[in-house]
Amino acid sequence: MPHHCGFDFKLGFIVMMIKKSAAFAAALVSASVVCAHEDAPAPRADSHAPIGVMADHMHKEGEWMFSYRYMHMAMDGNRDGDERLTPAETRAAGPFMVAPLNMDMEMHMLGAMYAPSDNVTFMVMVPYIELTMDHETGMGGRFTTETSGIGDVRLAALLPLYDYDGGKMHTTLAISVPTGSIDELGNTPMGNVQLPYPMQLGSGTYDFRPGITWSKLNDGWSWGAQTTATIRLGGENDRDYRLGNALDAQTWAAWNPSSAISVSGRLQWQAWQNVEGADPALNPMVVPTADPNRRAGRRTDLHVGVNWLSDGGHRVALEYGVPVQQDLEGPQLEVDSIATIGYQYAF
């Protein structure tokens, strides 16, 4: 009997050791999986910025990421400076024959990221844009113009500047390629004519978009900040104009009650200049959107968002924002809301 017990004990011990080493092996495997991911030591929903932020993170060597975003910006009513204008006041400001009433901007954006090494992450973003604008003439007639198609494709390299103890900084060097059409026509009371600047799908110029991003993961929460410039390269585009340069600065904070969910707040400030030159096919006396000197503005938006991270590198995120300040060299249509939904898969 004692012998039997000893034998049982030995067998039990061996089984226990096998179980332990299996657990140890499993721990090693999961540790190496975690180490291979960009979010070492453990994946967190807030290791990516709110979904409205682009080029916010780098990847580790050999990692890929594919993403899809749907963005909707709703613009309703006109504004000059920070004063709201009725359609009649908008026409009187020129005077113009036509006032824009509202505009919907929808964008489907496909993105890919790949890191050939820890020292560079490449990114490509391809937008598909759908624009709709409603107008009112001085006689009270209404009409709608619509355009859709591929926008300007963006190519970027993200380069690390700093990575220590959850704090990271990288620079983004991006070029926007003029793949979007600037020859979009639409049916108006004046016939099938060239549409004004905000209804075109691209800039018509190569644009340099340098940026810097900071982020810091803390226990249970994180923050980040990013600033990006848009600099139109070369001279005018094929239609004898160039869109204004732009500057963007933003900061966000995210709270994660669990590693799978984070809730964020984000404040974004943007400023952009007027159009230089002019499309000779556009008459600025007709509608304010055709006037190159009524395009500039500054705006601050406040966004709230949610990121959800599942096992296997799938992320789903939502963000919704409204302007808290808007100053336009108008009359110009004012922004009322910005909504973004996105899906990201990293492996």
Q: Which chain residues interact with Cu ion by CB under 5 A?
A: 65, 113
Shortest Å, Cβ 113 to Cu ion: 4
Cβ nearer to Cu ion, comparing 135 with 315: 315
Cβ nearer to Cu ion, comparing 49 with 133: 49
Shortest Å, Cβ 57 to Cu ion: 6
Q: 324 - beta bridge partners?
A: none
Rg (CA), the chain: 26
Shortest Å, Cβ 263 to Cu ion: 20
What is the residue-wise DSSP string for 28-61? HHHHHHHHHSTTTTS--GGGS--TT-SS-----T
Cβ nearer to Cu ion, comparing 123 with 290: 123
Shortest Å, Cβ 126 to Cu ion: 15
Shortest Å, Cβ 250 to Cu ion: 18
- Which of 260, 318, 283 lies closest to 95 in space, CA to CA? 283
Q: Give SS3 for 134.
A: strand
Distance (Å, whole) CA 113 – CA 120: 10
Distance (Å, whole) CA 336 – CA 322: 6
Cβ nearer to Cu ion, comparing 113 with 199: 113
Which stretches does DSSP call E strand in the chain?
A: 64-81, 83-85, 98-117, 120-137, 142-150, 153-164, 167-177, 185-188, 191-194, 207-217, 221-232, 241-242, 246-258, 261-272, 276-277, 297-309, 314-346
Cβ nearer to Cu ion, comparing 65 with 296: 65
Cβ nearer to Cu ion, comparing 69 with 242: 69
Shortest Å, Cβ 315 to Cu ion: 9
